[in-house]
Amino acid sequence: MLPVVIVNALLQALLVVDDPTPEGAWGFALRVGASGLAMILALWLILGASAAAVDADARFSVPPMTVLIGATAAVVLGGLAGVVSPILPVVVAVAAVPLLASLASRPSPGVLRTVTCTPGRALLGFFWVALLFIVNWVIALLLGFFIGGPVSAALSWVVFGFSASILATHWAVLHRRAAQQVGHEGFRATRTAGSPRTRARSA
């Protein structure tokens, strides 16, 4: 995950060289689009790496396209939500991170199943998403105020990337545990159904 975080941070820093402003319509729009694309791809790869990291039998591979679609939707919705209210992106992040981590997990138990299996850890996971989002926002503001420019952008995106990795890994662990619990329950149900006593009752 580290190379993805670093490469994304460098790309984001390059996109703010010369301090682009909205007055340059086409150039600014292209930079915003490139920034969003880099963010989506980084999130996609981080989610895939996190899901593979918590599975001892799995090796990293290209994450499913459903994760890419979900990451795209989350980034777009987060951007639109930020235009409406500075609070709404937090809500989008709290909902999106568990869902995207579930899409990246194989097998995927689903967010609701994960929450019911580990309600305490899931609640903590939701809290961490909101808290880290706010902390990252404050850090970005401070870096922009005291440093500014590409250096500030690079440092901010490094923080964002590591935070996303932590959150994705946390939820990947929860989804993995829920999937294992579902598997154990299915095995016990199959074993019970195939026992002589159960077959005798059915007969």
- Nearest Cα to 94, choosing from 115, 109, 108? 115
| Residue 151 confidence (pLDDT) above 80 | yes
| Residue 122 confidence (pLDDT) above 90 | yes
| pLDDT at residue 42, rounded to an integer | 96
Structure tokens at 65: 């396209």
pTM of the model as a whole: 0.84
pLDDT band at 201 (very low <50, low <70, confident <90, very high): low
| pLDDT at residue 190, rounded to an integer | 40
| pLDDT at residue 109, rounded to an integer | 80
Helices (H), 105-195: 111-117, 119-146, 149-193
| Residue 145 confidence (pLDDT) above 70 | yes
Eight-class DSSP state of 198: H
Q: Are 1 and 167 in contact (CB under 8 A)?
A: no
In order, the DSSP letters of 55-99 are: -TT----PPPHHHHHHHHHHHHHHHHHHHH-SSHHHHHHHHHHHH
| Residue 186 confidence (pLDDT) above 70 | no
Q: Are 173 and 122 in contact (CB under 8 A)?
A: no
pLDDT tens column, 9-44: 999 999 888 776 666 577 788 888 999 999 999 999
C-alpha–C-alpha distance, residues 18 and 7, integer Å: 20
| pLDDT at residue 70, rounded to an integer | 95
> Could you tell me the sign of the dihedral formed by the alpha carbons of 96, 98, 101, 102, in that order?
negative
- Nearest Cα to 46, choosing from 90, 104, 92, 89? 104
